[in-house]
Each structure stands twice: as C-alpha cells, then as structure tokens.
Amino acid sequence: MLSKKNKGILFNPLSKNNPVVVQVLGICSVLAVTAKLEPALVMGISVIAVLAFSNVIISLIRNTIPNNIRIIVQLVVVAALVIIVDQILKAYTYEVSKALSVFIGLIITNCILMGRLEAFALSNKPWPAFLDGVGNGLGYAIILVIVGFFRELLGSGSLMGCKVIPQSFYDMGYMDNGLMILPPMALITVACIIWVQRSRDKDLQEK
C-alpha cells in the first residue's frame, strides 16, 4: 500500500516539490482567500478533495481519452467535482461559502489541477494518482494555512474568528496592522515563505 515510492509521491509535494512555492502553481487562490484562517482552511480541504478525486477519475479513464481533446475532458471532470463541492459548501457552511465567493468556482482553473492531471494522472495507475493528489493538495493547503495564520493574526489579532491577542496589549498601545488584510501583503507574505524555504534549501535557488 505505502511502498517507498508511494511515500515519496505523497510527501515530496509537502516541501521539496511544493506546488505553490516551488512549482509556482495555483497562486491566485493562495493570495485571495487567505485574509482569514477559516476560509483558507475550507479552501485547502476543497482543493485536496477535488484534486484527489479528479486524479483518480482521469487515471481510471486515461487509456480511453483521445489525446486531442484531453484538456476538455479534464476540464469537464474537474468542473463536475467542483460543482459538487460548491453545492456541499453552500448547504453546510453558507457563511464561508459567501466569503470565498467566486474562488470555489475558480478551483476549476487552478493550475495545480491541470498540472497534476497532465503530469501525473495521465501516465499512472489510480492508487499512486490518488496519493499524488492528496500530497499536492496538502502541500497547497499547508501554504494556505501558513499565510492565513499570519495574515489573520497580525491583521485582525484573531485566529479562526476568536481574539487571541489579549486586551492588555491593546491598552498598552498595540495596534492591528490593517495592511496585512489588504491584498498586496499576501504576495509579500508568500515571498517571505519562499525566502525562508530557499535559504534553508540551497538546491532550489535560481541562478
């Protein structure tokens, strides 16, 4: 079930081959949904689900897809899964679904999905494809959660909607940094993550 190779497929995307900070895929949603931790978490879970199942489906039918129309087939499979996720979110977590607005729909055009389908699912068996989907989804979710954590903590002094910075800090003159909530700081937070990761892992540095 979990041979050495499969372990690599599952865990490599978490750091060495992270879809967001190393392959630079799926940036749009990382930046847009991370002003608060909760939507970031929901988004991460949705992407893991869609990625894992679309990988399995495409891998199952990989031998029957004609090469010319594979992009359309992939889009249809992904779009169907995203519609299911969208409807589930609307039914059970309406508030979060409102906060995510169009970005759940935009999972369809998330480059991580197309990238993994093209690069992995089209040439591998369903079980490794499933692991690859879960691994890459997790790699994506981790970055989302890190960025969401810092932006919500520094930007509104709370985590998952609960105040964590004690009132005494505010009395002493501490202020929430409103800039962290604004879109540009998301980019700079991701840049800092890249900076930290690449200074620890010299192989990833660009010439």
User: Phi-psi region for residue 24, left (φ > 0), alpha (ψ -120 to 50) or beta?
Assistant: left
Q: State the minimum distance, in angstroms, from the CB of residue 131 to another protein.
A: 24
Six-digit token string for 88: 């589930």
Q: Is 67 in the site for another protein (CB under 8 A)?
A: no
Q: Is 65 in the site for another protein (CB under 8 A)?
A: no
Integer Cα distance of 66 and 164 in angstroms: 54
Q: State the minimum distance, in angstroms, from the CB of residue 148 to another protein.
A: 14
Amino acid code (one letter) for 10: L
Given 76, 119, 160, 164, the residue binding another protein (CB under 8 A): 76
Given 55, 110, 124, 156, the residue binding another protein (CB under 8 A): 110
Going by C-alpha positions, the residue among 159, 171, 29 that lies closest to residue 103 is: 29
Segment interacting with another protein (CB under 8 A) among 53-61, 123-131, 155-163, 180-188 = 180-188
Q: Is 159 in the site for another protein (CB under 8 A)?
A: no
Phi, psi of 136, rounded to the nearest 5 degrees:
-65, -35
Q: Is 186 in the site for another protein (CB under 8 A)?
A: yes
Which one, 95 or 206, has the nearer CB to another protein?
206
Q: How would you classify the pairing of strands 162-163 and 158-159?
A: antiparallel
Which one, 131 or 185, has the nearer CB to another protein?
185
Given 14, 31, 45, 154, the residue binding another protein (CB under 8 A): 31
Given 80, 99, 154, 181, the residue binding another protein (CB under 8 A): 80
Question: What does the DSSP assignment read for 33-62?
Answer: STTSHHHHHHHHHHHHHHHHHHHHHHHHTT
**Binding footprint of another protein, residue count (CB under 8 A):** 45
* 145-167 b/e (C-beta count within 10 Å ≥ 16 → b): bbbbbbbbbbbbbebeeeeeeee
* Contact residues: another protein, CB under 8 A: 24-29, 31-32, 71-72, 75-76, 79-80, 82-83, 86-87, 101-102, 105-106, 108-111, 114, 182-188, 190-191, 194-199, 205-207
